A = this chain, B = another copy of it.
Amino acid sequence: MLEIIVLAIGKIKNEFFANAITEYSTRLKPYAAIKIQELAPESFNDSSRDKAKRAEGERISRALEKYSGAEIYLLHERGKELDSLKFSEKMASANGKIIFVIAGALGFDEDVLKKYNQLSLSKMTFPHEMARLILLEQIYRAATIIKGKTYHY
């Protein structure tokens, strides 16, 4: 069974997104052991944005140290883009845990970007809540592709 961890800065505050994310998490249960681990975001204003981004980056790095051996992918719009089939092949070929990391409203600190592989959901910039929803839907889609279900046309 697929073992997936979504590591994300911040909670889902918008209830529309929260409900949709819960829906895909529930649908995923027969196919994957999925855990969503939320890290606290830093509060910031216009002048403290960089400092907050660095603090969040350090928090992400510390959290990832626990998962040595896992395949780690930061979600970033300038990362490698896969179509849904290639994404499912990547998931099917993973040895052990796969960890997807979603930054908060500030995005990733450069030091974190240098350390880990990056995947892109799109060239477009999405709100982090929508990115989480899209990721969950694509993981669900990948699981149905792997199992040969007719969800993906």
A→B interface (CB under 8 Å): 14, 16-17, 19-20, 23, 77, 81-84, 87, 105-107, 121-127, 130, 133-134, 137-138, 141, 152-153
Contact = CB atoms under 8 A, between A and B. Distances in A.
A137 B141 CA distance: 22
Contact of A87 (B16, B124, B127): B124
Contacts of A84: 124-125
Nearest to A18: B16
A17 B137 CA distance: 13
Contact of A137 (B81, B87, B126, B138): B126
Given A134-B130, A134-B134, A124 B83 contact: yes
A52 to B, nearest CB: 12
Nearest to A86: B123
B141 A125 contact: yes
Nearest to A78: B83
A123 B105 CA distance: 23
Nearest to A16: B20
A21 to B, nearest CB: 9
